[in-house]
């Protein structure tokens, strides 16, 4: 190689004489003083920002403490306790109003004698959910089955009272209801329905087996029969539990209200939207054109309409289109609307995560022989979902707060129950409104902040894998 001969400056050859060990950083880089200088008072703009921040804290926090705590009234039996004239001082929050309306805020118009059922649902939910969220506790699989599989059924039965008296299954729906009309009910069980159910199960299984045989050959028949029967068996267990008469008084959903409705809608929306959103996101990236188009159409439709429109449509217009004898519970309609709406948003968040996974991960998974379903489940989705935890939780929080919109279709969630409580002349005081909204705000904040903190902890824990 040609010698490069620029006139290099003279230098002394050098060889390190000893190995240098690590030392602590200089004192000026550590401690309170360095922190203050570095982060709060480093430069003129920084000083101004610090002062502005301090001023903001000064004008917001002390008045809030004054209103909600120091000037607040903590006990009383009616509005008299919170009227400044009667008390003889400035009055802040009127907490006795909240105490007096507390049951209404938590249960709505749920009959007082039956509220123990709601309490059991709350307690059971907490008992099952908490250990699921704490990573170090064992039996995650069992716990998940209990929470996602068994709990919704138990909650449904407890809240509605069960014994839902289904009229007919597939065959009746196809116009063959006359076959089963003479059957009696035993212990709350509609025998006519169950006869219909068993016949339908047999027919559908046979049909599935036939189709699979025609499409994929005889060896596909056995798994098809097995999975169809398992599906029917699981559905039967759920329906059986819902149909049997346990002696619980039925409570219509229009009596439900307050925090109960907020939680029912939010928890259902959250637990449905994530799996459904994942399926939609995978569908949107599918190679099968039909699946892809269907997913895109679904997502774009639900993202394109406002939630209020969805709720309004489901509540007031859907009944006009349905055949006369078919009525769907009002709360259920809102639930389905919210869940589908949330799923569409979730799908786009998950798709963002899927797109961030490099091609090499797919190739690595394929090269070790993983089929595409396993590749998605074991390699791609775990990484994609981890990436979009902030977006997922963002959706959860948004959904939790959007539940307040059900107010416009006359479903009284926490905020609705609160507004109903405002109308009570017995508690008409100058600060009732502020107290009520303040309290509702605190309740929403506690739930949303809880979700936010949990997601941050989850991110930190999962992040170990990426750190060096």
Partner 1 sequence: MTADAIIADVEKGAPEIAVSMSGVNKWYGEFHVLRDINLTVHKGERLVICGPSGSGKSTLIRCINRLEEHQKGKIVVDGIELTDDLKRIDEVRREVGMCFQHFNLFPHLTILENCTLAPMWVRKMPKKEAEDLAMHFLEKVKIPHQAAKYPGQLSGGQQQRVAIARALCMRPRIMLFDEPTSALDPEMVKEVLDTMVALAEDGMTMLCVTHEMGFARQVANRVIFMDAGQIIEMNEPNAFFSNPQHERTRLFLSQILH
- Site residues for partner 1 per CB under 8 A: 1, 360-361, 363-371, 374, 378-379, 382-383, 386, 462, 464-468
Residue among 24 and 367 whose Cβ is closer to partner 1 = 367
- Smallest distance, partner 1 to C-beta of residue 249, A: 50
- Smallest distance, partner 1 to C-beta of residue 389, A: 13
- Smallest distance, partner 1 to C-beta of residue 328, A: 41
- Smallest distance, partner 1 to C-beta of residue 217, A: 12
From its phi and psi, is residue 245 left (phi > 0), alpha (psi between -120 and 50) or beta? Answer: beta
Residue among 310 and 392 whose Cβ is closer to partner 1 = 392
Residue among 105 and 387 whose Cβ is closer to partner 1 = 387
Distance CA 140, CA 153 (A): 19
- Smallest distance, partner 1 to C-beta of residue 379, A: 5
Residue among 86 and 371 whose Cβ is closer to partner 1 = 371
CA distances from 57 to 52, 63, 66, 73, 439 (A): 9, 10, 14, 24, 21
**Residue indicated by tokens 């590749």:** 375
- Cβ contact 393:452 at 8 Å: yes
**DSSP code of residue 218:** G
Percent helix, strand and coil across the chain, each to the nearest 5: 75, 0, 25
- Smallest distance, partner 1 to C-beta of residue 63, A: 48
Task: At 21, list the tokens.
Answer: 């060990």
Residue among 251 and 365 whose Cβ is closer to partner 1 = 365
Task: Give one DSSP letter per residue of 255-300, joined into a string.
Answer: GB-BHHHHHHHHHHHHHHHHHHHHHHHHHHT-SSHHHHHHHHHHHH
Residue among 265 and 385 whose Cβ is closer to partner 1 = 385
- Cβ contact 118:110 at 8 Å: yes
- Smallest distance, partner 1 to C-beta of residue 232, A: 28
Residue among 166 and 391 whose Cβ is closer to partner 1 = 391
Cβ count near 152 (within 10 Å): 14
- Smallest distance, partner 1 to C-beta of residue 468, A: 6
Distance CA 103, CA 111 (A): 11
- Smallest distance, partner 1 to C-beta of residue 361, A: 6
Determine which helix (DSSP H) or strand (DSSP E) holds 212, and give its type and residue range. Answer: helix 191-216
Task: Give one DSSP letter per residue of 54-70, joined into a string.
Answer: HHHHHHHHHHHHIIIII
- Smallest distance, partner 1 to C-beta of residue 380, A: 10
Residue among 278 and 414 whose Cβ is closer to partner 1 = 278
- Cβ contact 406:341 at 8 Å: no
In the chain, what's the furthest Cα-to-Cα distance?
A: 110
Residue among 118 and 365 whose Cβ is closer to partner 1 = 365
Q: Is 314 helix (H, G, I), strand (E, B) or coil?
A: helix
> Residue 217, exposed/middle/buried by CB under 10 A (0-12, 13-18, 19+)?
exposed
Task: At 280, list the tokens.
Answer: 């939609």
Residue among 90 and 366 whose Cβ is closer to partner 1 = 366
From its phi and psi, is residue 3 left (phi > 0), alpha (psi between -120 and 50) or beta? Answer: beta
Distance CA 273, CA 343 (A): 4
- Smallest distance, partner 1 to C-beta of residue 466, A: 5
Residue among 1 and 290 whose Cβ is closer to partner 1 = 1
């Amino acid at each position: 190689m040609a010698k490069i001969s620029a006139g290099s400056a003279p230098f002394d050859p050098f060889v390190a004489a000893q190995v240098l060990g690590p030392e602590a950083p200089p004192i000026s880089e550590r401690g309170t003083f360095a922190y203050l200088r570095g982060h709060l008072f480093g430069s003129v703009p920084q000083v101004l920002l610090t002062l502005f921040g301090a001023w903001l804290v000064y004008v917001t926090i002390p008045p809030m403490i004054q209103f909600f705590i120091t000037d607040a009234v903590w006990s009383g039996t009616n509005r008299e306790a919170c009227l400044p004239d009667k008390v003889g001082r400035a009055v802040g929050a009127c907490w006795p109003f909240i105490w007096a309306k507390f049951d209404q805020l938590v249960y709505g118009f749920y009959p007082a004698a039956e509220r123990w059922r709601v309490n059991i649902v709350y307690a059971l939910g907490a008992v099952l959910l908490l250990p699921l969220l704490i990573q170090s506790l064992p039996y995650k699989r069992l716990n998940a089955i209990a929470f996602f599989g068994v709990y919704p059924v138990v909650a449904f039965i407890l809240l509605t009272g069960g014994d839902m008296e289904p009229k007919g299954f597939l065959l009746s729906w196809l116009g063959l209801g006359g076959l089963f009309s003479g059957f009696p009910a035993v212990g709350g069980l509609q025998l006519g329905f169950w006869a219909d159910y068993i016949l339908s199960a047999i027919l559908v299984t046979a049909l599935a087996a036939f189709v699979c045989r025609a499409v994929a050959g005889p060896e596909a028949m056995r798994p098809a029969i097995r999975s169809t029967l398992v599906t029917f068996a699981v559905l039967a267990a759920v329906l059986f539990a819902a149909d049997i008469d346990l002696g619980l008084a039925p409570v219509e959903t229009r009596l439900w209200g307050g925090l109960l409705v907020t939680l029912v809608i939010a928890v259902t929306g959250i637990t449905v939207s994530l799996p459904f959103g994942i399926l939609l996101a995978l569908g949107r990236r599918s190679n099968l054109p039909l699946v892809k188009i269907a997913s895109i159409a679904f997502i774009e439709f639900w993202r394109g309409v406002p939630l209020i429109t969805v709720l309004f449509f489901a509540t007031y217009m859907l009944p006009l289109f349905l055949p006369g004898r078919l009525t769907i519970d009002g709360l259920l309609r809102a639930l389905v609307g919210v869940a589908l709406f949330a799923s569409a948003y979730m799908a786009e968040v998950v798709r963002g995560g899927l797109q961030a996974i490099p091609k090499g991960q797919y190739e690595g998974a394929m090269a070790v022989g993983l089929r595409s379903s396993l590749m998605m489940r074991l390699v791609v989705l775990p990484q994609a979902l981890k990436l979009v935890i902030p977006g997922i939780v963002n959706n959860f929080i948004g959904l939790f707060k959007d539940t307040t919109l059900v107010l416009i279709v006359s479903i009284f969630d926490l905020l609705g129950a609160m507004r109903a409580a405002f109308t009570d002349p017995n508690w008409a005081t100058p600060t009732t409104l502020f107290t009520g909204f303040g309290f509702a705000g605190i309740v929403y904040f506690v739930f949303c902040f809880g979700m936010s903190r949990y997601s941050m902890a989850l991110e930190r824990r999962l992040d170990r894998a990426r750190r060096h």
